[in-house]
Structure 1
Amino acid sequence: MKIRTRLTLLFTGMTAALLLLFASVVYFSFSQDREEEYYKNLRQQAVTKANLLLDAKVSPQVLQLIYKNASGSSSQEEVAIYDTAFHLLYHDAVEIDKVKETRTMIREIAENGQISFHTGQLQVVGFLYAHNGNDYIITAAAQDEYGLFQLHNLLWTLVGAFFTAVVLVFLVGQFFARQALKPVSDMVDEVEEITATNLDLRLKNDSKDEIGELAVTFNAMLDRLEQSFDAQKQFVSNISHELRTPLTAMMAELEITASRERPAEEYRQSMRHAITDAQQLVKLSNSLLDLAKASYDPSEIHFREVRLDEIIMDARRDILQAHPEYKISIVMEEANDDSDDDLISVTGNEYLLKVAFINLMENGCKFSHPPETTVTLTWFKGHTILRFADEGIGMEKEDLPHIFDPFYRGRNHRFVDGNGIGLSLAMKIVRLHRGNISVASKPGQGTVFTVELPHV
């Protein structure tokens, strides 16, 4: 069921319930007032007839004649007068006797002063009447034809008005629901035009209500999707380029070697070149896998409390095993109290942090001559701070805004081999740990990478 129809039915149902409640209150209020008013009218007419009998001394035969000749016998009140000993003093129509008074009824009227009830369509009232020092019991019964007719007309009027109002409310509700949800329908039409080939399209946003907020949120999502698609295209393009270079070099080297018979030393040299290219491919593949891991949803990565000094030492050991010629110095600032463990502990993933630190250390060593870098571990307020400093060739000012972009290589790339993934990977890992990474560098004066991580 569409929202428009659901809203219309909900609105119509609520309005119908309110109208039904209102009509019920009006009907039952009118019915109660009519009944009470008619009881009063019966009592008044009965008292008038009793006064004619007791005060004016009108004979009972005359009163009975008036009763019999009155038009509309069902609406003409039937009056009976008794004394308190249940002796009948007067009755309009004894042979009919609509009320059929009993001694118990007379006793109840004498005790309570007045009773009223229904017998069929008739309303009956009985009351104690004091006259000239004597007590009389008077009963009167009649049918309120005019009042019941009005009540019946009121019922049909309310029923007709109720159903007419419900139909009108449904139609009006349909119109207003269509108007209220028209921006949503327009938004659906616009969204259907957006595909993977035209992610640059955006939803129109001419209002500041909830629909406008939805359009803004959807446009923001499209911005992220477009950026993701563009980054993916760029990523695939860069991967293709990076993989093509070592593969082409390897194939060319092998084809040249296989083109004719060569001495054993040339074959060994060719294999060494192929191994070097293969190692570059392995390193690139490992970097891409690490980059993919760093791009995971944080909820999919296992975090626990780890010590940064231990991770740095492990990273240093791995680098020196692969590159014994590198020199990596680690400097730790001393704490003034016993909270040293807490200051250098963070909540994170040990493997990913180690990958980030290895990339930063290797980056410092590769661009320094001799290959040397210094890691300083300190802390300030709620953050643990690591500085990776070298005194190498530094970076140009134009390169600094792009060094964390995947596969970007600055103007100094001609000095060393690389694939441009390491710094981008380090940044993703640091941000995954709710940290921040920055760089300061000048050509010929070295580079300093600063990593800030919230400690435990």
Structure 2
Amino acid sequence: MTARTRITLLFTGITAAILLLFSAVIYFSAKENREQEFYSLLNKEAITKANLFFNAHVDKKTLQDIYHNNRQILNEVEVAIYDSSFNLLYHDAVDIDFVKETKTMIEQINQEGEIRFYQEGWQVLGIKHVFEGKPYIIVAAAYDEYGYKKLTNLLNDSLLILFLSIAFLFFTGRFFSKKVFDPLKKMSVQAKQISANKLNLRLPTSGSKDELDELSSTFNAMLNRLENSFDAQKHFVSNIAHELRTPLAAIIAELELAEQPGKTNAEYQKAISDALADARKLARLSNSLLDLAKASYDPSEITFKSVRLDEVLLDAIGLVQRVDRDYRVEFHFEQEFEDDQEISIQGNEYLLKVAFVNLIENACKFSADHKATVGLQFDSEKISLVFTDSGIGIQDADLPHIFSPFYRGANDRFTPGHGIGLSLTQKIVHLHSGDISVTSRQGKGSSFSIRFFRSIPSF
């Protein structure tokens, strides 16, 4: 069953139930009112007939003639008058005597003052009437044909209106549910056309700002992110292929040359040295790609613990200087600290070390004197690290792109690289709820600033 049909049936069922409830309330209220009104009529007829008999002294035969004449054209009230000893004083139609009063009934009326009951559809009222200090019992009975017809007509009309209303509600609900679900149907048709090769397609939006329009906008925003992710993935794979192809091609070429006969030992050694250098480039690239993958994990999958940033920095400096002994790093605190927690954050030591190594290596290799300066300062809200060099600087056109994966600026001619380090560093910093920024002047050097917040800020 489709959602459209379910909603239509639910809407029709609920509304029909409400209409049925109102119809039942109206019908039973009318039924109760008819009963009370007819008992009230019986009471008036009984008192009137008693007054004619006792006060006006109208002859019995005259009263009985009036009853028989009226009974031919309408359901006249049949009245019987007894004294308290069950002696019949008057009866409209002894030959008919529909109620057939008993002594027990008369005694009950005398004791209770009034009784009401039904007999074969007739309503019967027995009341105690006092005239000149003497109690009398009056029994009045009649069939409310007019009232029952009104009730039957009310019931038939109510059922007819109910069935017509249910039909109207069903088709109306069907029509409006179609109107409501038409945009969803269009969205479904469009969504079926979206594939990995057609990520440029989007769901239609009406601009009405309703829930469906908001759903379309949200889905389109998700498609935008997916398209960007696919494009970035394609770009990423293309760049990896390019970065891997160059050193592999160089290694193959060097080995093919070394394979040729007639080479001297020096030429063999040079070929081995060049192949080893290219292999090391591949190893560094592989390590960088693995680190980039780790930095792209969900934070919940990475182990965080309290880490002292000065210790991580010292380890990173040691790693850099072991790789290249020409690199020099100055590390200094901007202020004294008394508690380890003042320079500690919740972080992953390995990833932080990777980020710091990338920044220190960049600062050293782009400086003529291969020197980098690292400063650490803190306050109650954040810990700041500044990595400074006096190198060639970064061109203004390159600054907006330096954190993009595999981006190589105009400075790539000065030193080899893969364009992964700064992108990886930014991912690691963001993973630790921090931010990173850069200022640079050509020919004067660059300064990378990292801020780690003690509480997560809203960027």
Residue 74 of structure 1: CA displacement? 9.8
Structure 1 segment 17-416 matched on structure 2, within 5 A: 17-64=17-64, 66-67=66-67, 70-71=70-71, 75-94=75-94, 97-206=97-206, 207-335=208-336, 338=338, 340-416=339-415
**1 CA distance for matches of 2:6 and 2:333?**
66
TM-score by length of 2: 0.92
CA deviations on 1:63-93 (whole Å, 9 max, x unpaired) are 4455456546994433222223433323345
Letter in 2 for 1:349: N
Letter in 2 for 1:321: R
Letter in 1 for 2:4: R
Is the 1:395–1:447 contact (alpha carbons within 8 Å) kept by the matching residues of 2?
Answer: yes
CA deviations on 1:270-312 (whole Å, 9 max, x unpaired) are 2222121111111111111111121122233233332222222
**1 CA distance for matches of 2:305 and 2:158?**
72
Letter in 1 for 2:309: L
Residue 399 of structure 1: CA displacement? 1.3
Is the 1:364–1:389 contact (alpha carbons within 8 Å) kept by the matching residues of 2?
Answer: yes
Residue 229 of structure 1: CA displacement? 1.2
CA deviations on 1:386-406 (whole Å, 9 max, x unpaired) are 101111221111111111111
- Cα distance change on mapping 1:103 and 1:421 into 2, 3 Å: same
Letter in 2 for 1:34: R
Residue 437 of structure 1: CA displacement? 0.4
Per the alignment, in what secondary structure is the counterpart of residue 451 of structure 2?
strand
CA deviations on 1:2-41 (whole Å, 9 max, x unpaired) are 3322222222122112211211121111111111111111
**2 CA distance for matches of 1:362 and 1:193?**
48
**1 CA distance for matches of 2:2 and 2:421?**
52
Residue 98 of structure 1: CA displacement? 3.7
Per the alignment, in what secondary structure is the counterpart of residue 358 of structure 2?
helix
* Mean CA deviation greater in 104-113 or 2-11: 104-113
Is the 1:127–1:139 contact (alpha carbons within 8 Å) kept by the matching residues of 2?
Answer: yes
Consecutive unaligned residues in structure 2, runs of 5 or more: none
Per the alignment, in what secondary structure is the counterpart of residue 437 of structure 2?
strand
* Equivalent position of 1:2 in the other structure: 2
CA deviations on 1:199-254 (whole Å, 9 max, x unpaired) are 22333323222222222212211211111111111111101100000000000000
Residue 362 of structure 1: CA displacement? 1.2
- Cα distance change on mapping 1:81 and 1:420 into 2, 3 Å: same
Is the 1:344–1:455 contact (alpha carbons within 8 Å) kept by the matching residues of 2?
Answer: no
**2 CA distance for matches of 1:85 and 1:382?**
106
**1 CA distance for matches of 2:414 and 2:166?**
83
Letter in 2 for 1:368: S
**2 CA distance for matches of 1:436 and 1:357?**
14
Letter in 2 for 1:407: F
Does 2:450 correspond to 1:451? yes
Residue 259 of structure 1: CA displacement? 1.7
* Equivalent position of 1:425 in the other structure: 424
Is the 1:79–1:139 contact (alpha carbons within 8 Å) kept by the matching residues of 2?
Answer: yes
Residue 448 of structure 1: CA displacement? 0.7
Q: How many residues align?
A: 454
Residue 107 of structure 1: CA displacement? 4.1
Letter in 2 for 1:7: I
Residue 450 of structure 1: CA displacement? 0.3
* Mean CA deviation greater in 157-166 or 13-22: 13-22
**1 CA distance for matches of 2:120 and 2:73?**
15
* Equivalent position of 2:12 in the other structure: 12
**2 CA distance for matches of 1:229 and 1:188?**
22
Letter in 2 for 1:210: E
Residue 195 of structure 1: CA displacement? 2.5
Per the alignment, in what secondary structure is the counterpart of residue 47 of structure 2?
helix
**2 CA distance for matches of 1:309 and 1:105?**
109
Consecutive unaligned residues in structure 1, runs of 5 or more: none
